[in-house]
Amino acid sequence: AVFPKNIDLRGGGWKYLYSTLVGSAIAKIVGANVAHNSKFDNTVTMWVFEEMVDGRKLTEIINTDHENVKYLPGHKLPPNVLAVPELVDAAKEADILVFVIPHQFIGRVCDTMKGKIKINALGMSLIKGVDEGPDGLKLISDVIQEKLGIAMSVLMGANIANEVADEKFCETTIGCKDKEHGALLKELMQTSNFRVTVVEESDVVEICGALKNIVAVGAGFCDGLGFGDNTKAAVIRLGLMEMIAFARIFCTAGPVSSATFLESCGVADLITTCYGGRNRKVAEAFAKTGKSIEELEKEMLNGQKLQGPATAAEVHVILKSKNMLDKFPLFNAVYQICYQGHPVAEFIKCLQNHPEHM
């Protein structure tokens, strides 16, 4: 097959999206890779929400100084990364679309792009979350595929954006059902310090990326309540059990292999997020201060969005509709504490009373 060359990075979004951090880190990788590979066009267009920083437009700063000073300061972007303020302008000529925005906004983004992109474009989602469909669970990649009619893959892994931008070694997982597309996307993404593995269970890869944020909120509660590493280890183990059980119930593409959970998208991403991610950080402050998630988001995240509580709410609706809440006590406890006023001090009870087998 002949693959067209243009690459498009979802670098920004609606005003308060966190994607400018993650998108810029990924743009740094892709920009460097395509600059030395004749298979790809040299220019990477990155959609960035236009805002003023120190009296200058953010797109102007990125395109002149080659740095996203708002969300990824101190890291130079390759000069072939072009910041574009209009979504359609960034996407219309692209042949590979990389989506990096909070999952709550994907519907609006796709509606804006619909009918204005190439019909044979390839899509890859880095979005960590799930949606509600008529049968319960709906994956974000499925939402994009249905709205835009393009083939979709996903990328998930233990990839904290600042460490990726610092070029510290890490691994990631691409879930792609088409081996030829998977090989192309690996070539686009892999560097000596960003090791890519491709697996076919794209639905499991995506579910891991969404659910680990719920578990990380629980880990943050433990930190805020003053519990130690033993307790956090229990949260990680029991959370992983719930992730595997959830995937086995809701993944309909075929049998779920335990091996996928041993990839970077699974246990590695879970551990990293429970020790270093924003979900853990904000949840710790939630337990210590008593402030709401919304307040802490504004105070601590510089315009980035938190995914764990929102995903817990969506998973709660799905599990409730299937009468399965009692089978997922950790997921349910995170929802109850974040949204229903349940005392955070009682989170430990969901661990003490967790079923031995799932």
Annotated binding site for substrate: 128, 278-279
User: Exposure pattern of 332-341 as b/e (b: 16+ CB <10 Å)?
Assistant: bbbbbbbeee
- Specify the 3-state DSSP secondary structure of 49: coil
The secondary structure of 293-316 as a DSSP string is HHHHHHHHSTT----HHHHHHHHH
- State the Cα–Cα distance between residues 7 and 41, nearest whole angstrom: 7
Distance separating alpha carbons of residues 119 and 149, to the nearest angstrom: 7
Question: What does the alpha-carbon distance between residue 260 and residue 251 come to, in Å, rounded to a whole number?
Answer: 13
Q: How far apart are CA 143 and CA 349, in angstroms?
A: 36
Choosing from 28, 212, 232, 281, the catalytic residue is: 212
Is 147 catalytic? The answer is: no
Say which residues have a Cβ less than 8 Å from residue 306's Cβ, sequence separation at least 6. Answer: 278, 279, 282, 293, 297
Q: What span, in angstroms and rounded, lies between the C-alpha atoms of 298 and 294?
A: 6
Q: In whole angstroms, give the CA distance from residue 17 to residue 159.
A: 18
- Alpha carbons 140 and 149: distance in angstroms, whole number: 13
Binding residues for NAD(+): 49, 105, 161, 278, 305, 307
Q: How many CB atoms lie within 10 A of CB 216?
A: 31
Residues with a known catalytic role: 212
